[in-house]
């Protein structure tokens, strides 16, 4: 997020975890950026309405939406519970859908802009977690549809597909899993969060003005071959 505020963007940060979300916003402000935090749940349409109203109150107009909320588990098709399935699909896919549905008209009214949906390399290939894989493929498809529906409004909608990138979401991985993911990445290293942030910043900028409906892998070559299946051996 600091990548955007450093470029002059004013950002509304949202998170179900209030402490974590405030910390992100406060860090951006401390670095000289413009950011405000509002708690809520991406699965809840009322939260999205609150965020929309707050963004318009604080910033007058909204030109960019980044759908970045995500969760995953370690279940198989046979072991995943209904609650686990609904949680992952709810956060990853429903959250992105509600975000687009809420903010696309706002971005249109501002004269156009860009939406970036953070999918995953699993949205191009697969992941051992069925709910995660299904949700990220869903985000990919939703991006395609939205790019068609909102292109005439001057809104570009693209998805990015990170591979093994070092973030709070990947901290859970065992040493064996980390080593396996790096070994199966042609560049033989993990990605850094700032690299994904730079891609997002590019996609919402005028420099990407004719990029719409794209699915961009940022995975060190992970999906250049079908590598994900091998990760099962290291679960």
pLDDT at residue 234 greater than cutoff 70 = no
Contact 61, 108 (CB under 8 A): no
pLDDT at residue 228 greater than cutoff 60 = no
What's the CA gap between 98 and 207, in Å, rounded?
A: 27
11-28 tens-digit pLDDT? 999 999 999 999 999 999
85-131 tens-digit pLDDT? 999 999 999 999 999 999 999 999 999 999 999 999 999 998 889 99
* 53-62 mean pLDDT: 98
User: Structure tokens of 48?
Assistant: 């999205």
**pTM check: above 0.85:** yes
The domains located in the chain, with CATH, are 67-234 (3.40.50.720)
Tell me which H or E stretch contains 22: helix 18-30
Least confident of 75-89, 200-214, 216-230: 216-230
What's the CA gap between 192 and 211, in Å, rounded?
A: 24
Angle 123-159-65 from CA coordinates, rounded to 5°: 135
pLDDT averaged over every residue in the chain: 93
- Determine the pLDDT at residue 207: 98
Please identify which residue in the block is written with the tokens 């949202």. Answer: 14
What's the CA gap between 162 and 109, in Å, rounded?
A: 31
- Determine the pLDDT at residue 74: 76
What's the CA gap between 130 and 165, in Å, rounded?
A: 20
Contact 103, 56 (CB under 8 A): no
* 200-226 mean pLDDT: 95
Distance from the first to the final alpha carbon of the chain: 31
122-181 tens-digit pLDDT? 999 988 899 999 999 999 999 999 999 999 999 999 999 999 999 877 777 788 888 988
Please identify which residue in the block is written with the tokens 């939260």. Answer: 47
User: Structure tokens of 112?
Assistant: 């156009």
Active site residues: 132
From the CA atom positions of the chain, what is the Rg in Å? 17
């Amino acid at each position: 997020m600091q990548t955007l505020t450093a470029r002059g963007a004013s950002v509304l940060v949202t998170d179900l975890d209030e402490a974590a979300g405030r910390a992100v916003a406060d860090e951006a402000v401390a670095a000289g950026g413009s950011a405000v935090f509002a708690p809520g749940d991406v699965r809840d349409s009322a939260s999205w309405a609150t965020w929309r109203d707050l963004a318009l109150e604080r910033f007058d107009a909204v030109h960019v939406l980044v759908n970045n909320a995500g969760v995953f588990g370690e279940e198989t098709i046979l072991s995943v519970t209904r609650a686990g399935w609904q949680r992952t699909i709810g956060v990853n896919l429903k959250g992105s859908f509600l975000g687009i549905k809420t903010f696309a008209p706002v971005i249109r009214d501002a004269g156009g802009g860009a939406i970036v949906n953070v999918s995953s390399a699993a949205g191009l290939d697969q992941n051992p977690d069925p709910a995660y894989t299904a949700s990220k493929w869903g985000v990919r498809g939703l991006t395609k549809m939205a790019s068609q529906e909102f292109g005439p409004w001057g809104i570009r909608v693209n998805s990015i597909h990170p591979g093994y990138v070092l973030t709070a979401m990947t901290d859970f991985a065992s040493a064996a899993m980390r080593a396996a993911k790096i070994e199966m990445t042609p560049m033989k290293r993990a990605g850094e969060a700032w690299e994904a942030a730079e891609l997002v910043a590019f996609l919402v900028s005028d420099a990407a003005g004719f990029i719409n409906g794209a699915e961009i892998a940022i995975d060190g070559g992970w999906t250049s071959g079908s590598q994900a299946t091998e990760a099962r051996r290291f679960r």
